[in-house]
Amino acid sequence: MPAERPAPRRVTLADIAAACGLSKATVSLVLRDSPLVHADTRARVRAELERQGYVYHRGAASLRRGGSNAVALVVNDLANPFFAEFAAGVDAALAEAGYVLLLGSTGESPERQQAVLASLAEHGPAALILSPAEHTDAARLRRLLGPRMPVLVFNRALDGEGAAGWDYLALDNRQGARLATEHLLAQGHRAIAFFGGHRDSSSCQERRAGYRDALAAAGLAPDPGWLVECAPTRLEAARQAGALFARDPAPTAAVCYNDAVALGLMAGLAARGRRAGADFAVVGFDDIAEAAVAVPPLTTVAADPRARGLQAARLVLTRLRGELPPAPHAVVAPVALRVRRSSLALSDSLTEGTAA
């Protein structure tokens, strides 16, 4: 920006010190509320700081001290409500603690993830909260981040040597899928599919395990044809809906990998003349905002992403304060079933109930 006046130099500690007839050292102590400084001096400095519109230069301070009040957050897709709410939670907790958020997103690409992290790492964040892209190579990540950066892995497990020593916050995927499946069993469904997700992602594996747990506890074995993979997006789910009915006996209900898939499935069912909640029961996972306003409203497993974000940030802050044991800390966040109308028993009708 071309300025009229010849670039009004930035106000520094030296300016304040000179104006007060003090040394930079003393002004610096005032800035950090040192009790060493005489109250009168402090007041004088404070006034001058204010008068000149001084802005602290954190870069310089970080350089000198070797530290930073920035925390990096890298998610897959900020436009995904799950991650947006997660990020909002992280941001709130960090801001409260006086930290600043450096944000990046990867679009599920390990390559972009590497590039984004390299760029963020140059800013020397105090810690990293990472929701890893699919097929992340932990060893490669570790090479980039070095041995000392505190890392909290969120949502998807990272295996191998690389991830050793990194903290981990996950949803209780297994329990969530178990609850979802039990709910359908309780409504009389016996032929229950698990729909969507990629088999090789840790969260999908865990959710499938919970699904199997519940079936096994009910003495049922899932028909292999009831395990349908698809990308965790609405569009793909709508396209794959037909795969559920390829076999005989076809399922009468499905536990879905997540809400996006569940909503896509509901659209796919409609396109086939089937009504979710009436002809076919559906349960999702995540409880995104749309779940409540879908028609019929979607029964789902609530992950409370904002609470997860707060939790993640607090974990990291605790780690930074050195108050966490050195061993990697793994936390599994509880999850709850939110029952709505997409998962009625086959015999129930949808004509009851009121509009959303």
Partner DNA sequence: CTGAAAGCGCTTACAG
Q: Binding residues for DNA, per CB under 7 A? A: 9-10, 12-14, 17, 21-26, 28-29, 31-32, 35-41, 54, 56-57, 60-61, 63-66
Q: Is 327 in the site for a second copy (CB under 8 A)?
A: no
Smallest separation (angstroms) from DNA to the CB of 62:
8
Sign of CA dihedral 267, 237, 74, 97: positive
Smallest separation (angstroms) from a second copy to the CB of 178:
28
- Quote the tokens at residue 356: 């959303």
Among 319, 340, 341, 343, binds a second copy (CB under 8 A): 319
Element (H, E) at 240: helix 234-240
Q: Is 232 in the site for a second copy (CB under 8 A)?
A: no
Based on the number of CB atoms within 10 Å of its own CB, is 157 exposed (0-12), middle (13-18) or buried (19 or more)?
middle
Q: Is 34 in the site for a second copy (CB under 8 A)?
A: no
One-letter identity of residue 201: S
Smallest separation (angstroms) from a second copy to the CB of 37:
21
Which C-beta is closer to DNA: that of 121 or that of 295? 121
> Which of DNA, a second copy, none interacts with 32 (beta carbon under 5 to 8 A by kind)?
DNA
* Distance from C-alpha of 188 to C-alpha of 178, rounded to nearest angstrom: 15
Smallest separation (angstroms) from a second copy to the CB of 269:
9
Smallest separation (angstroms) from DNA to the CB of 78:
29
Q: Is 221 in the site for a second copy (CB under 8 A)?
A: no
Which C-beta is closer to DNA: that of 25 or that of 293? 25
> Which of a second copy, DNA, none interacts with 14 (beta carbon under 5 to 8 A by kind)?
DNA
Q: Is 21 in the site for a second copy (CB under 8 A)?
A: no
* Distance from C-alpha of 250 to C-alpha of 47, rounded to nearest angstrom: 76
How many angstroms separate the Cα of 42 from the Cα of each of 16, 29, 119, 135, 249?
A: 12, 9, 39, 54, 80
Please compute Rg for the chain using Cα positions: 26
User: Alpha helix locations (H) across 189-233?
Assistant: 202-217
Residue 301: which region, alpha, beta or left (left: phi > 0; alpha: psi -120 to 50)?
beta
Q: Cα torsion for 181, 183, 185, 189, to the nearest 10°?
A: -100
- Quote the tokens at residue 206: 């865990």
**Interface contacts to a second copy, rule CB under 8 A:** 1-3, 7-8, 10, 53, 55-60, 62-63, 66, 68, 70, 77-79, 81, 84-85, 87-88, 91-92, 95, 98, 100-105, 112, 115-116, 119-124, 143, 146-148, 150, 263, 267, 270-271, 289-290, 293-295, 306, 319, 322, 326, 354-356
